[in-house]
């Protein structure tokens, strides 16, 4: 018998539940850390938070962007908005630039927006805006509310009574950042769909729910919060970041709390199985689990079977996997299977999956498998159409269209997009599938969405970000996803229009992968050069053709050639241009301090590598947001409170992270400086008692502009380039196997001792790559106080020196430094010129050879610049 929800709005549910004190929400923050918020306290606290929002100037009808990480805070603020007629706009918090860009894009689409978040998130937005000249940040800062403050006022706010047609909240998808669309969800939409889902799965108030999905996702906020809340049922939340760190906690808590309903997209099952070990489950009893909702991304039958096989040992029934179809535009649920049936796998001939084709069953090795997601929920009309909105017969591939009281009226402030999506009352989901005797099978996505680790990425967003590199021309790059048939997850491919020598493509490929990873947290699987990009007659990219060509092996030959070139690519281009000795390969630096060794162990475990150099960039190892969360969890165990996830983006090598951890308390240690050995010809006779001497040189505007262009191209700072050039010179002159150099950058009172290894077999282009890698061949030995070292005697041999590099002439008393350091190279970077000061201790060092050393440095700078100009004369693409 169908259950009716006799409410006019979601607020009616809150007021009803707020009258009793026996049920509530459990917030799980660890194995032994839980907190229960009763529904009564939820109501009262939300009312008091409403007062805080209203005192901040937020009124009925204003939009409030929720950038709130803590689940309890999120839910309280969400309900405070509904109580006051404020429109909540949940948006995922992210560490990369694309997530920050999305906030500003959404802000521009709203009428009178405010934002609520932590001080740290707001500062991150401000830094991003300042870097990208977004003047909008002034308005954002003026209209921000901080969760760091106590939001719960001593008195309640002024309530508002919504109508069924009022907007409850705006749901932005987890996908497109370049042009996000906000789905309008009214109280009527949501109450209708909540009722449909409750009846479609026969839920009661006796259920216990548990979810790790983010509350910014429709499955998290609607399916795993509003549904149990409407039932007045107990439900639990595990923070998504905690699930990423400890995926087995999901079922540890399901077992502990006798959970009956949970949910996860495809990614969650795969991720859980990667970390699950039978010994932790020896006492599990999962017979009470009734339903595990599986949706939000393509469903893998093989993975479902593997998951059920593993957990059936503990009483999990084969009928618990509940494959469903849903989307934000439907408020959430659109189609559910029949209860108490095992999920149904449909195997089809892959050549019968075009729009308008009748599908053909197949059992061949080349067939493709899909999962039947059941019948449309009661009250939802569903049909399959072609591009002209003509209804197609059973078992014919077409666009899935839906209609019903649960379906959105359109996109917020997007009239044109709304009209394009909803025609004659029918919403085109953009998804492809077919109906068979009333049951739905989803076969693909007309929207080209790429699913990776539970996140959605749009190809046009990836292309837009890639075009942020100067090397990539507009329209010369195409992104697409190819499906891993077993896991039904996507691998991201980039195709670049490229007609030049493949040797130069290797650098472009690595540069693209790193850039996309840093900007979007997305791991690109392959970057492939193509001579031609297929397009439709209207000029649109035919991404599916490139994906099919890849799967058919048409790019195997070029990928093999690139692999061979990468292995063999080395020369000695610049060694012929300097009259110095060649040098040995020594670019791999192992951890040699306690912190570095501990971090190295973590990185090897998380990234599954056998060895790691302290200057290898995490993103070059395939780092993405998922892996960095795991890494952060392990660092947090060793150094509590020292590092945030954002810090891993700022300090993406073991050396930089170790330095950051060591200096986070501001306690610089006293150390012994390590000198390097120089040839005897550099040292003066003992009778030479001259004072410190200085050589000066000004790099002209032309050279300076070329340096700045090169540094912009390689994403490094000018001082990093000048330092790297200096160390290469020292490496050529010094007798040591390693170069120890002292540096002073931001703070004239703080110096760093660096251990440098340079690969003597690198050609000019690869040395520029080395610079691009931002000192990843540099090992930080120690950070120390300059004042401390000046007050101590420094031990060095007769033919040993301690060099120093100063950025932007930061040090005010350089001659005093010559009591410790034997020669100092200082740079002063102006807009059009670079001034170089080279000071040395004439009491020890010979003037003629020091002058030759400085001249060789200037010559080496010019060699780098000239090679860069030669390399970039032609357009890369």
What DSSP line would sit under 198-261, residue for residue? HHHTT--TT-EEEE-S-TTSHIIIIIIIIHHHHHT-EEEE--HHHHHH-TTHHHHHHHHTT--E
CB 652 within 8 A of CB 779: no
DSSP-derived secondary structure letter, 843: T
In a domain, 108, yes or no: yes
DSSP letters for 246-315:
-TTHHHHHHHHTT--EEEE-HHHHHHHHHH--GGGGTT---TT--EEEE-SS---HHHHHHHHHHHGGGT
Residues 639 and 697 in one domain: no
Of 382 and 838, which is predicted with more confidence?
382
Contact 23, 17 (CB under 8 A): yes
Domain that holds residue 760: 676-871
Element (H, E) at 169: strand 167-172
pLDDT bucket at 818, cuts 50 / 70 / 90: confident
Same domain, 598 and 541: no
For residue 639, CA distances in Å to 595, 632, 647 come to: 10, 10, 13
Q: Does residue 371 lie within any of the structural domains?
A: no
Report which DSSP code applies to 84.
H
Average pLDDT over residues 593-610: 85
Residue 629 and residue 766 in one domain:
no
Most confident of 6-10, 455-459, 871-875: 6-10
Tokens at residue 466, please?
Answer: 């890639």
- The predicted-structure confidence for 77-113, as pLDDT tens digits, reads as follows 999 999 999 999 999 887 778 888 899 999 999 999 9
pLDDT, residue 579, reads 41
Residue 388, both tokens:
């002209």
Q: Which of 404-408, 490-494, 566-570, 678-682 has the highest mean pLDDT?
A: 404-408
Model confidence over 611-654: pLDDT tens digits? Answer: 788 888 887 776 666 777 788 878 877 877 677 776 777 788 88
> 180, 212, 238 — which closes off a domain?
180
Count CB atoms within 10 A of the CB of residue 636.
15
Asked which of 217-221, 235-239, 702-706, 756-760 is least confident by mean pLDDT, the reply is 756-760
pTM: 0.64
| Residue whose tokens read 């970041």 | 241
**540, pLDDT greater than 80:** no
Confidence band for 474, pLDDT divided at 50, 70 and 90: low
Q: Please give the pLDDT value at position 790.
A: 67
pLDDT for 569: 52
* Secondary structure (DSSP) of 609-675: -S---TT--GGGGT--HHHHHHHHHHHHHHSTTT--HHHHHHS-SHHHHHHHHHHTT--PPP-PPPP
pLDDT band, very low/low/confident/very high, at 341 (cuts 50, 70, 90)? very high
Q: Is the per-residue pLDDT at 124 higher than 90?
A: no
CB count in 10 Å sphere of residue 642: 15
Residues 781, 809 within the same domain: yes
Query: Given pLDDT bands bounded at 50, 70 and 90, which one contains residue 448?
Result: low
> Percent of the chain having pLDDT more than 90?
41
Q: Which two tokens stand for residue 128?
A: 């991003």
**Per-chain mean pLDDT for the chain:** 84
Tokens 């393509």 belong to 298
pLDDT the model gives residue 875 = 41
Q: Are residues 649 and 690 in the same domain?
A: no
**Which pLDDT does position 583 carry in this prediction?**
32
Which of 175-189, 268-282, 773-787 ranks highest by mean pLDDT?
Answer: 268-282
- Helical H segments across 325-483, by residue range: 415-421, 459-466
Q: Are residues 608 and 636 in the same domain?
A: yes
What's the pLDDT score for residue 570?
38
CATH number of the domain encompassing residue 494: 3.30.300.30
506: pLDDT strictly greater than 90: no
Q: Is 88 inside any structural domain?
A: yes
Q: To which H or E segment does residue 178 belong?
A: none
Q: Which of 180, 210, 243 is the last residue of a domain?
A: 180
Q: What integer pLDDT is reported at residue 758 of this predicted model?
A: 58
Residue 453 banded pLDDT, cuts 50, 70, 90: low
Instruction: Classify residue 389 by burial, with Cβ atoms within 10 Å: 0-12, 13-18, 19+.
Output: middle
* pLDDT of amino acid 326: 94
User: Per the domain annotation, does 669 fall within a domain?
Assistant: no
Mean pLDDT of 697-708: 86
pLDDT of residue 215: 96
Burial degree of 588 (CB within 10 A; 0-12, 13-18, 19+): middle
Is residue 772 scored above 50 in pLDDT? Answer: no
Among 620, 639, 663, the domain-final residue is 663
Of 7 and 467, the one with more pLDDT: 7
The whole-number pLDDT of residue 584 equals: 33
- The whole-number pLDDT of residue 40 equals 96
Residues 585-597: tens digit of each pLDDT: 345 677 878 888 8
Residue 441: is its pLDDT beyond 90?
Answer: yes
Q: In this structure, are strands 208-211 and 234-237 parallel, antiparallel, or unpaired?
A: parallel
Cα angle value 447/448/452 (rounded, 5°): 120
Higher pLDDT, 727 or 251: 251
Size of the chain, expressed as the number of residues it contains: 877
Say whether both 722 and 848 belong to one domain: yes
| Percent share of the chain, pLDDT over 70 | 84
Element (H, E) at 853: helix 847-871
Residue 589 belongs to a domain: no
Query: HSE (CB half, 13 Å, CA atoms) of 361?
Result: 3
Q: What is the pLDDT of residue 585?
A: 35
Mean pLDDT confidence for 713-718: 73
**Predicted pLDDT of residue 753:** 81
Residue 59, pLDDT above cutoff 90 = yes
Question: pLDDT tens digits, residue range 231-277?
Answer: 999 999 999 989 988 999 999 999 999 999 999 988 889 889 988 89
Distances (CA, A) of 39 to 18, 56, 216, 400: 5, 26, 21, 38
Residue 816 has pLDDT above 70, yes or no: no
Give the whole-angstrom CA distance, residue 12 versus residue 229: 11
**What's the CA gap between 824 and 841, in Å, rounded?**
9
Tens digit of pLDDT for each residue in 14-39? 999 999 888 999 999 988 889 999 99
327 within a domain of the structure (yes/no): no
Report the SS3 class of residue 731.
Answer: helix
Flag whether pLDDT at 6 surpasses 90. Answer: no
- Do 659 and 680 have their domain in common? no
Q: What is the CATH number of the domain that holds 725?
A: 3.30.559.30
Position 876 scores a pLDDT of: 37
| 633 shares its domain with 688 | no
CB 444 within 8 A of CB 453: no
CATH number at residue 605: 1.10.1200.10
Count structural domains, the chain.
4
pLDDT band at residue 773 under the 50/70/90 scheme = very low
Q: What is the pLDDT of residue 283?
A: 93
- Same domain? For 707 and 805 the reply is yes
Residues 277-319 pLDDT 10s = 999 999 999 999 999 999 877 788 888 999 999 999 999 999 9
pLDDT at 831: 64
**Structural domain includes residue 256:** no
DSSP for 827-840, written as a single string: EEE-SS-EEEEEEE
Residue 487 pLDDT > 70, yes or no?
A: no
CATH code of the domain covering residue 125: 3.40.50.12780
pLDDT score, position 111: 98
Q: Is 859 domain-assigned?
A: yes
The better pLDDT of the pair 821, 876 is held by 821
Q: Is-contact 224 263, C-beta < 8 A? A: yes
CA proximity to 839, closest of 854, 861, 857, 859: 854
Under 8 Å between Cβ of 466 and 494: yes
- Residues 830 and 722 grouped into a single domain: yes
pLDDT tens digit sequence for 745-761: 766 667 788 776 655 44
H or E element: which one contains 775? none
Residues 622 and 688 both lie in one domain? no
């Amino acid at each position: 018998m169908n259950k009716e929800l006799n409410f006019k709005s979601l607020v009616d549910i809150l007021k009803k539940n707020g009258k009793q004190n026996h049920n509530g929400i459990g917030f799980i923050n660890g194995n032994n850390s839980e907190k229960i918020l009763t529904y009564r306290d939820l109501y009262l606290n939300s009312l008091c938070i409403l007062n805080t929002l209203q005192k901040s100037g937020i009124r009925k009808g204003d939009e409030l962007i929720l950038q709130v990480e803590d689940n309890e805070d999120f839910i309280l603020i969400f309900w405070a908005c509904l109580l006051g007629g404020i429109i909540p706009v949940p948006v995922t918090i992210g560490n990369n630039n694309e997530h920050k860009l999305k906030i500003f894009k959404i802000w521009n689409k709203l009428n009178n927006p405010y934002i609520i978040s932590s001080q740290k998130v707001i500062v991150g937005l401000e830094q991003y805006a300042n870097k990208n000249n977004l003047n909008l940040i002034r308005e954002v800062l003026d209209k921000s509310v901080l969760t760091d403050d106590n939001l719960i006022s001593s008195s309640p706010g002024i309530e508002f009574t919504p109508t069924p047609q009022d907007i409850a909240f705006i749901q932005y998808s987890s996908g497109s950042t370049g042009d996000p669309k906000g789905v309008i969800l009214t109280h009527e939409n949501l109450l209708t769909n909540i009722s449909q889902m409750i009846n479609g799965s026969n839920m009661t108030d006796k259920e216990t729910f548990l979810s790790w999905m983010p509350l910014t996702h429709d499955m998290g906020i609607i399916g795993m919060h509003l549904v149990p809340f409407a039932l007045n049922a107990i439900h639990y939340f595990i923070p998504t970041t905690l699930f990423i760190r400890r995926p087995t906690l999901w079922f540890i808590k399901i077992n502990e709390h006798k959970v009956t309903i949970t949910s996860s997209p495809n990614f969650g099952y795969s991720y859980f199985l990667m970390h699950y070990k039978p010994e932790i489950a020896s006492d599990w009893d999962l017979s009470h689990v009734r339903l595990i909702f599986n949706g939000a991304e393509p469903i893998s039958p093989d993975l479902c079977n593997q998951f059920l096989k593993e957990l059936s040992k503990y009483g999990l029934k084969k009928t618990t996997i509940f494959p469903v179809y849903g989307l934000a535009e439907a408020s959430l649920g659109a189609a559910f299977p029949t209860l108490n049936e095992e999920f149904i796998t449909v195997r089809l001939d892959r050549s019968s999956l075009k729009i308008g084709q009748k599908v053909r069953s197949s059992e061949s090795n080349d067939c493709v498998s899909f999962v039947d997601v059941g019948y449309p929920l009661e009250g939802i009309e569903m049909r399959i159409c072609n591009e002209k909105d003509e209804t197609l017969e059973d078992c014919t591939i077409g666009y899935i269209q839906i209609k019903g009281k649960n379906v959105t009226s359109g996109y917020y402030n997007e009239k044109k997009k709304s009209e394009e999506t909803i025609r004659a009352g029918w919403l085109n989901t953009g998804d492809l599938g077919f109906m068979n005797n009333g049951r739905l099978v989803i076969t693909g996505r007309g929207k080209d969405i790429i699913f990776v680790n539970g996140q959605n990425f749009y190809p046009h967003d990836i292309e837009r970000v890639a075009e942020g590199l100067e090397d990539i021309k507009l329209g010369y790059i195409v992104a697409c996803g190819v499906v891993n048939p077993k896991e039904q997850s996507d691998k991201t491919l980039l195709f670049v229009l490229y007609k030049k020598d493949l040797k130069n493509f290797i650098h472009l490929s690595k540069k693209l992968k790193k850039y996309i990873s840093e900007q979007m947290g997305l791991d690109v699987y392959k970057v492939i050069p193509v001579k031609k990009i297929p397009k439709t007659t209207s000029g649109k990219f035919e991404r599916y053709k490139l994906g099919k060509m890849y799967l058919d092996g048409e790019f195997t030959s070029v990928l093999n050639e690139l692999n061979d070139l990468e292995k063999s690519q080395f020369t000695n281009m610049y060694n012929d241009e300097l009259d110095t000795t060649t040098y040995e390969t020594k670019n791999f630096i192992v951890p040699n301090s306690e912190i570095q060794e501990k971090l190295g162990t973590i990185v090897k475990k998380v990234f599954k590598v056998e060895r790691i150099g302290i200057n290898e960039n995490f993103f070059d190892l395939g780092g993405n947001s998922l892996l960095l969360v795991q890494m952060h969890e392990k660092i947090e165990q060793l150094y509590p409170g020292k590092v945030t996830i954002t810090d891993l983006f700022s300090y993406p090598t073991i050396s930089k992270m170790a330095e950051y951890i060591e200096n986070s308390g501001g306690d610089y240690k006293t150390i012994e400086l390590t000198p390097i050995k120089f040839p005897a010809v550099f040292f003066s006779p003992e009778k030479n008692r001259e004072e410190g001497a200085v050589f000066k040189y000004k790099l002209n505007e032309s050279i300076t502009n070329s340096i700045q262009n090169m540094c912009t191209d390689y994403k490094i700072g000018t001082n990093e380039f000048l330092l790297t050039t200096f160390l290469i010179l020292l490496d050529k002159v010094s007798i040591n196997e390693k170069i120890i150099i002292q540096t002073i950058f931001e703070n004239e009172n703080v110096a760093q001792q660096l251990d440098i290894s340079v690969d003597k077999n690198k050609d000019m282009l690869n040395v520029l790559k080395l610079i691009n890698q931002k000192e990843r061949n540099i090992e930080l030995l120690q950070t120390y106080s300059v004042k401390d070292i000046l007050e101590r005697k420094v031990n060095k041999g007769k033919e040993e020196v301690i060099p120093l590099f100063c950025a932007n002439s930061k040090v005010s008393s350089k001659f005093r430094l010559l009591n410790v350091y034997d020669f100092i190279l200082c740079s002063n970077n102006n807009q059009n010129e670079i001034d170089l000061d080279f000071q040395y201790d004439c009491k020890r060092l010979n003037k003629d050879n020091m002058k030759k050393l400085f001249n060789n440095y200037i010559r080496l700078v010019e060699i780098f610049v000239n090679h860069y100009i030669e390399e970039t004369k032609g357009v890369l693409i």
